Amino acid sequence: MIVCIPELLSAEKTKEFRRELDAADWEDGKSTAGHMAAKAKDNVQIPASHPVARQVGDGIMRALTLNPLFMSAAVPLHFLPPMFNRYSGGQTYGTHIDSAIRQVPGSGHRIRTDLSCTLFFSEPEEYEGGELIIEDTYGSKSVKLPAGHMVLYPATSLHRVTPVTKGSRLCSFFWVQSMIRSDEQRAILFDLDLAIQRLSGSLPDHPAANQSAVQLTGVYHNLLRQWAEV
């Protein structure tokens, strides 16, 4: 399941964070890649311990917890703090799959990476190339979103970033451990939640619609009881 989260950050907040990120110190992105991924990875990143990374990361986390679409799609349990990368001058990240387990920087805590997230800080017209290509069940999906928008996709997916041949592509990336390990079960809950919201919103004063929404909500929570890991 690939879900785009529009306007996770407002235009003003996106520009504010972009200015802070542009002024930060950057290092070779291979420093955080695994053995195999390092062979395919060519970009720069802000060190996870950098004050700007922590400050902007906290702002992203606040936005995520307030976004109903993200909460419905991810059903989050744990987060890996957001990190930041930049591609320019032909830099790219070849086809790879994300590590299944990652340690939270500065702690002994580890999370299972069920979901990968990419939040864009550069507008599409600022750079050429740089598409995020995700290998989905039905083929390849190319993602290149406006600044402040985010894509959420299964961390089990093969994916790559095409070479940035002009301009600069700046993004945040991070992972989520969901309460629902299975992507298939997570997709069922997501579709059910959206249906409940549409039903409740389209006929708010209709008794039969309200009763159906209550029954469907009960089904949602009973499935959550069966499938959730907390």
Residue ranges of the chain assigned to CATH 4.10.860: 183-227
Q: What topology is assigned to 183-227 in CATH?
A: DNA Excision Repair, Uvrb; Chain A (4.10.860)
pLDDT for 132? 98
> 208-214: long-range contacts at Cβ-Cβ below 8 A with a sequence spacing of 24 or more?
none
Superfamily of domain 3-178: q2cbj1_9rhob like domain (2.60.120.620)
Residue ranges of the chain assigned to CATH 2.60.120.620: 3-178
Examine the pLDDT at 116 and tell me if it is beyond 90: yes
Q: Which of 145-154, 183-192, 197-206 bottoms out in mean pLDDT, i.e. has the lowest?
A: 197-206
pLDDT tens, position by position, 126-138: 999 999 999 988 8
Residue whose pair of structure tokens reads 């195999």 in the numeric block? 36
Q: How far apart are the first and last CA of the chain?
A: 22
pLDDT tens, position by position, 151-194: 999 999 999 999 999 999 999 999 999 999 999 999 999 999 99
Say what the pTM is.
0.93
DSSP the chain: --EEETTSS-HHHHHHHHHHHHTS--EEGGGG--HHHHHHB--EE--TTSHHHHHHHHHHHHHHHT-HHHHHHH-EEEEPPPEEEEEETT--EEEE---SEEEPTTSS-EEE--EEEEEE-S-GGGEEE-PEEEEETTEEEEE-PPTT-EEEEETTS-EEE--EEEEEEEEEEEEEEES---HHHHHHHHHHHHHHHHHHHH-TT-HHHHHHHHHHHHHHHHHHHHH---
Confidence of residue 36 (pLDDT cuts 50, 70, 90): low
